[in-house]
Structure 1
Amino acid sequence: MIARLHYYSDKEKIMSLSRTKGKLFFEGAQVHIFPDMSPEVGRQRAAFNQVKTKLRDAGIKYRMLFPAKLEITVDDSRMTFIDPCAVERFINRNKSSSSEEH
């Protein structure tokens, strides 16, 4: 089934609920909800996969914004990146500064 929503905020609410509720079922069958995106946007988002793994390992909170932006939250401040290489530099700088503190 494909649903077309008139308001972007409705899509965001549905996606948020699908993440927080866990598995969804309809008449005994599991239902999966995916946002529709072009192959190009998918490639742009996939370019962040390695840095997202490093962020998870470092315990840094992040989220992906549409179409392909990565938002990082550190010490209640947010930074947004459109380039995975810039995120990599940020991670390396943070590793350097945290190792100097110890």
Structure 2
Amino acid sequence: MPERSPKALREAIAAHAPQLLADFDRHWKRDIADTYDLTPVPAFMARWWTEYALARDPRLDARVSDLEDRAADADDTAEAHALLEQAAHLRREAGHTEPGQ
């Protein structure tokens, strides 16, 4: 994982997960650059840190996507809830990845 800064994260996304770059840039422009408001930067970084951590591990990313897809298709609310809890747990773990890991 890169240094925990918007610039370093953008560079890592561009180099290793370019499929995320357009959404990253659009989100940055809409919520931060165009508003000149730095208040949302911590939430922005939390979201994109997690997205990048997942994208750099294709097996983990596929696992999270599978859980979310299965939850969307589930007929039973309890089953859908359990699947989403598993996906959320994996997302939280990915979000806790530290720079250099």
Same fold (TM over 0.5): no
The structure that is helix-richer by fraction is 2
* Structure whose alpha-carbon radius of gyration is higher: 1
Q: TM-score when scaled to structure 1?
A: 0.32
Q: Per chain length, whose mean CA-contact separation is higher, i.e. which structure has more relative contact order (CA < 8 Å, sep 6+)? A: 2
